[in-house]
Structure 1
Amino acid sequence: MDLFKVTDSSKREKGSNTVDNGPKFSKNRIKPDLKQNVKVLLVGYNGANNTGSEARLISIVNDVRNVLGPDVFITIPTLNEKNLRRYIKEETNLKIVPISSIFFFAVKKLVKEHDLVLLVEGSCYMDTWTSALLWAFLWATRCASSFKKPCIAYSVDAGDLSFLNKFLVKREASKTDLIIARTELAADRLKKLGVTAPIKHTADNAFIFQKDVEDENVLKDVWAKKSLHQSGAGVVGFAVVDFYLWPVVIMPWGRSRDLYKWPYYFSRSKKRSRESDELAGRWAAAADRVVEKYGKNVALLCMEELDEPFARSVLGKMQNSKNAHIFSSREFNTSKMTGILQSLELLVTSRYHAAVLSLEAAVPQIAVAHDPRLIGLYRELEMDSYLFDYRTEKSDKKWDEIEKNINELIENPDKIHKKLKQGYKEHLICAKKNKELLRDFLIERGWEVR
């Protein structure tokens, strides 16, 4: 079989847990010494105090151990060791490895030392956040191909790319042994780019994540401690993102306030700052209307620590700020953030994983998207009428439509309850197929699996 003529996207059928047989996997890779512990490298956005990445990583570690057994040796590289240790415990067979922000030599060395490479970042094939992150994943793929080590992109997404990055993704992602896309839209995007690796589509691993029982009442407990005249009211969540910080760009120097991690700086200009301020005002106005019209409280949700400054800006613009509270992934781990999300009466989100992690509780939701990730998810949920693409829909009229949908779902939350329940069921079934694809992939190579 000619690997470079094969692409495939397994169709998600309503209520079905089937994934088509598709193409066989490429076998042109070195088989590990099965007498020793197999070594697996997980390359992703690890240690960023990002709720979605945290949920994915925990679920993927469990998948790897379910397939290869508890003795499998797992290595997780990170730019922030301290943050990663908050939710990943280093053990005899799990190692956390800090790497430099200039990652090329470190990643190459790690790939060479391992038997299997998994790309575990959801936003894998996009440059929305920064080209550097994309290049890290493509570089890991290139190194794996060079060393003849099997490489899988594990439940990932594809989004906006510059002309150069489209070329790089087509060339380097085609060297991947298997790409598991988390939405059909992502799979289609990769095919249209000309990526020739085998492609399946399932669902995001975060759908498998389960919160701890003791975290079910986090939202209620926090609000009970606040001195509010509406302390017994329901809570509407706003998962906000400052679209105008991104992408992070590579510069030898810049303003210290714009520094992410040298040599990476947030994109800032007078125009961007003005647009960011305007966006914060839009969110604040929407939050105030929820408080004034319905007597609800507002949770400003920071799914990544980097969202905090923008959330504070929104809070500072609210007329009813005493009825709002910021919940940040810096303070609350994924289990607690999931408990908060699933306790909301309504979610308005610009974060993909806020939508995913709230879905189990069928929390009514509206998306204000700035890249294709939420678009792909909402298309599969058949929720297009509750989706707003901020890249093309910034007008007052669109915010009026968002307000109209907020009113509708607060007043009639049961309207989409069945759709959300069914959507969660279907995505959970498909997310569980990720480890089955991993198992089949390794069996094809004669690996010992459970």
Structure 2
Amino acid sequence: MDWDIVDSPLQRSLAALNRYAGAPAPDEVFLDDMQQRIDAARRVAGRSGPGARRDANGDLNLAANGDLKRDSNPGANGDLKRDSNRAANHEADRAEPRVLLLGYSGAGNTGADLRTIETIAQLRRLLAPREPRITLFALGDCFDHPLLAGTPRLTPSLPYLPDALDAAVRDADLVLNVEGSTYTSKFSDSLAGVLIGGIALAHAHRRPAMAYGVDSGTMSAALTRFVERNAQAGEVICRNDAARAQLASLGVSAQTGADTAWTYRARADSHNAAPGSRRAALCPNNPFWWPVRADAARARELDARGEASPLRYGPLHFHSWDAARAEAYRAYLDRFAQIAVGLREQGYMPVLVGMEQLDRGACADLAARVPFPIDIVARGPHTLDEVAATVAHAACVVTTRYHAAVLAISHGVPVFGLSMDARIERLLSEMGCGPWRAACDDDDGAQAALAAIASLQDGGVRGALIAAYGDYARMQRARFDAMGERVRAVLEG
């Protein structure tokens, strides 16, 4: 690509988007493009000595390709373009801090939305009487909670996401990554690139930037390189010590904090408030169709034929799937069905909970395997508050979804984890509740779950478990409060 012949930021961004979409390995190209923009911002920031010029808001003025942006009709001295409106409003901006939240909002993922909701609520408490001007980076249109629905969303100024982020972070006084699953290739290298790269871009533009209560996991070689190249960009606060230790091995100096969803309190649930109610919330998903990977050629072929695919995720990405994954998924559903039947025999009334819109398919597949009628409460047909309340006020929970475990523990509900990665394992192990989990592909997972829940008939077992939950939840909320104080210090410093 001869960038010299491309005249405008819009044309450059369109050209980069087309290159990404046509690449054999689009996710790697995306990470490379993010890195190019980060490096360009760092180069310009490095020239911020006596010869560097800043705009009226104190920003280094950087175009999408890293060139200094000049007025289309500069004067004889070649001054950089200044925005008088931003200069006039600079003091007002200081009074109302501009905060950009990077995450997974809008996708109908209850855990991601709870994290965002509690972060917004914390920011408003911390900064009162100032009202922060919060903007959400959104990945969908599911905003069924009033706090999310009333928060402005980022309108990209350029078509290619790395360029849009490069512009957006420079309009913020603070950039927060509020998604938990950040340093991992489990779900998508492109999403990880947005979260990690957005913080690195903000840091390169000398904007305060923090990864807020994040986790880690297995990473691809490309994502590992990306993390190592940006190891010192921004502040990183992990939600457990295991993540902090893993990131330290890659050169990332992180602090231990907490997940931001611990302060959420579920509304009353009339179903579980009924005398003698013993609902067991079962929270399945499809653990085996991740990660999603970009495949533009496949997307174009489907579009040309006017066909849909159940594996398609957004315009260009597709879930991973093959015969081995399909067989693992069938066995997983069979184990979950055994748990449902066994819990009914123990006197519970099972209900299936779809913590994310995507989980509706897994709930339907599981319901078809259960030999009795079973209710489904899932995002989409049900709101975030309804889904969260079903978990938080259950008699017990069995989950593959991390934030169903957080909701249960936070509300004193016994939980057994059928984990798809390290997140639930870390959570329960950190609490000293290691026997209350099994891998989602463990042949003995159903028996382990049923035995653990049966042990609750012993009042001593139940009492010790709930006491451990209370101690742990209080510690997490205290850590979250400390994280907030750090944010306030950054914004007021």
Q: Letter of the aligned partner of 2:367 in structure 1? A: L
- Structure 1 pair 258/50, CA: closer, same or farther in 2 (3 Å)? same
Gaps in structure 2 of 5+ consecutive residues? 1-45, 49-56, 60-89, 300-307
1:237 maps to which residue?
Answer: 281
Structure 1 residue 285: Cα displacement: 1.3
In terms of Rg, which structure is larger? Answer: 2
- Cα distance in 2 for residues equivalent to 1:338 and 1:273: 29
| RMSD of aligned alpha carbons | 2.6
Structure 1 residue 115: Cα displacement: 2.1
- Cα distance in 1 for residues equivalent to 2:417 and 2:136: 32
Give per-residue Cα distances to partners, 1:391-420, cap 9 Å, x unaligned: xxx343344323322322356533512111
Structure 1 residue 102: Cα displacement: 5.1
- Cα distance in 2 for residues equivalent to 1:409 and 1:90: 40
Kindly indicate whether the alpha-carbon contact (under 8 Å) linking 2:215 and 2:238 is maintained by their aligned counterparts in 1. Answer: yes
SS of residue paired to 2:444: helix
Structure 1 residue 382: Cα displacement: 1.1
State how 1:130-279 maps to structure 2 within 5 Å: 130-176=188-234, 178-196=235-253, 199-211=254-266, 215-220=267-272, 233-252=277-296, 253=298, 256-279=309-332
Q: Letter of the aligned partner of 1:142 in structure 2? A: A
Most deviating of 264-273 and 231-240:
231-240
SS of residue paired to 2:310: helix
Kindly indicate whether the alpha-carbon contact (under 8 Å) linking 1:79 and 1:101 is maintained by their aligned counterparts in 2. Answer: no
1:286 maps to which residue?
Answer: 339
- Structure 1 pair 133/219, CA: closer, same or farther in 2 (3 Å)? farther
- Cα distance in 1 for residues equivalent to 2:366 and 2:144: 30
Kindly indicate whether the alpha-carbon contact (under 8 Å) linking 1:409 and 1:415 is maintained by their aligned counterparts in 2. Answer: no
2:484 maps to which residue?
Answer: 435
Structure 1 residue 207: Cα displacement: 0.6
- Determine which of 135, 151, 159 is the counterpart of 1:75: 135
Q: How many residues align?
A: 395
Q: Letter of the aligned partner of 1:187 in structure 2? A: R
- Cα distance in 2 for residues equivalent to 1:63 and 1:31: 28
State how 1:47-62 maps to structure 2 within 5 Å: 47-62=106-121
Kindly indicate whether the alpha-carbon contact (under 8 Å) linking 1:240 and 1:301 is maintained by their aligned counterparts in 2. Answer: yes
Kindly indicate whether the alpha-carbon contact (under 8 Å) linking 1:119 and 1:154 is maintained by their aligned counterparts in 2. Answer: yes
TM-score normalised by the chain length of structure 1: 0.81
1:13 maps to which residue?
Answer: none
**Greater relative contact order, per chain length (Cα 8 Å cut-off, separation 6+):** 1
- Cα distance in 1 for residues equivalent to 2:378 and 2:159: 24
- Cα distance in 2 for residues equivalent to 1:133 and 1:298: 34
Structure 1 residue 430: Cα displacement: 1.6
1:383 maps to which residue?
Answer: 433
2:406 maps to which residue?
Answer: 356
Q: Does the alignment pair 1:111 with 2:169?
A: yes
Structure 1 residue 317: Cα displacement: 0.4
- Cα distance in 2 for residues equivalent to 1:245 and 1:372: 17
1:416 maps to which residue?
Answer: 465
Give per-residue Cα distances to partners, 1:279-299, cap 9 Å, x unaligned: 1111011111111x2232101
Structure 1 residue 173: Cα displacement: 4.0
Q: Letter of the aligned partner of 2:354 in structure 1? A: C
Q: Letter of the aligned partner of 2:248 in structure 1? A: K
Kindly indicate whether the alpha-carbon contact (under 8 Å) linking 1:233 and 1:295 is maintained by their aligned counterparts in 2. Answer: no
Identity of aligned residues (%): 23
Give per-residue Cα distances to partners, 1:33-76, cap 9 Å, x unaligned: 44433211111101111111111111111222233344321111
Structure 1 residue 342: Cα displacement: 2.2
Q: Letter of the aligned partner of 2:476 in structure 1? A: H
- Structure 1 pair 153/382, CA: closer, same or farther in 2 (3 Å)? same
Q: Letter of the aligned partner of 1:295 in structure 2? A: G
- Structure 1 pair 52/273, CA: closer, same or farther in 2 (3 Å)? same
2:447 maps to which residue?
Answer: 400
Gaps in structure 1 of 5+ consecutive residues? 1-27, 225-230
Kindly indicate whether the alpha-carbon contact (under 8 Å) linking 1:338 and 1:357 is maintained by their aligned counterparts in 2. Answer: yes
Kindly indicate whether the alpha-carbon contact (under 8 Å) linking 1:40 and 1:115 is maintained by their aligned counterparts in 2. Answer: yes
SS of residue paired to 2:182: coil
2:305 maps to which residue?
Answer: none
Structure 1 residue 181: Cα displacement: 0.9
2:15 maps to which residue?
Answer: none
